[in-house]
Amino acid sequence: MDIKILTIFPEMFTGPLTTSIIKKARDKEILKIKVINFRDYSENKHNTVDDYPFGGGAGMLLKPEPIVNALENNLDLENNNQEIILVTPQGKTFKQEDANLLATKKNLTFICGHYEGFDERIRSYVTKEYSLGDFVMTGGEIPAMAMVDAIARLIPGVIKEEDSFKDDSFFGGLLEYPQYTRPRVFRDIEVPEVLLSGNHEHIRKWRRKESLRRTYKRRPELLMNFQFTKEDKKFLEEIKKEEK
């Protein structure tokens, strides 16, 4: 996958994109990431990227020319297998299903907003808009980092064992089941006996039921549109009785 990030603070991406799993994926060329300072595409000698809004108002807006020039000079805008993403509080809340979809694309470009907003005409080049949630940050850089990380780990070859993310919270619509490692007993709290049984079918059922239980107790709204199997319905009825 080829990812481009348009920002006026490229130095913010040095750590997150040059360590851990992302670094390994870049070293293997599974993932290509280019951070572009769109200030370099400004059309005046002062490299200005912002200006006052027409009609008045507080703060400054990002001008259209630097961002559009950066897009035109670094992207094939005719490419249909890409998404140009505006990171903005006005966008759709980014969820696992969005990460799953974007991970199938060959090319992604993130535009990191800043200041009080951006010239509306930039939107004509954008295919999707995302936010991390109902709160405002100082810029789009940190949300873009989070989205890139969530997407990158789904690309084949980035994580060694694909099954390791298939059980993640949200991937299948539920929160992840509880997990344990050694020691078997820690401060009088024991690992559930079923996990030590060696019976894979019993373990599978326990994990599924506990995943449903955790979702039911912590994020019940996720179950509203969940596609239950016959087994899931049975587990959920048991959970409701047990939790009363």
Binding residue numbers for S-adenosyl-L-methionine: 113, 132-137
From the annotation, which residues make up the binding site?
Answer: 113, 132-137
Catalytic residue among 40, 83, 98, 116: 116
Catalytic residue among 40, 98, 167, 168: 168
Distances (CA, A) of 199 to 122, 144, 206, 238, 239: 57, 42, 11, 21, 22
CA distance 170 to 214: 12
Residue whose token pair is 């080829």: 2
Q: 153 catalytic, yes or no?
A: yes
CA distance 194 to 74: 54
Q: 89 catalytic, yes or no?
A: yes
CA distance 129 to 120: 13
Q: 121 catalytic, yes or no?
A: no
Catalytic residue among 16, 53, 64, 89: 89
Whether the bond between 183 and the residue before it is cis, its omega within 30 degrees of 0, is: yes
Q: 116 catalytic, yes or no?
A: yes
CA distance 223 to 237: 13
CA distance 87 to 183: 43
Catalytic residue among 123, 153, 207, 208: 153
- Catalytically active residues are 89, 116, 153, 168
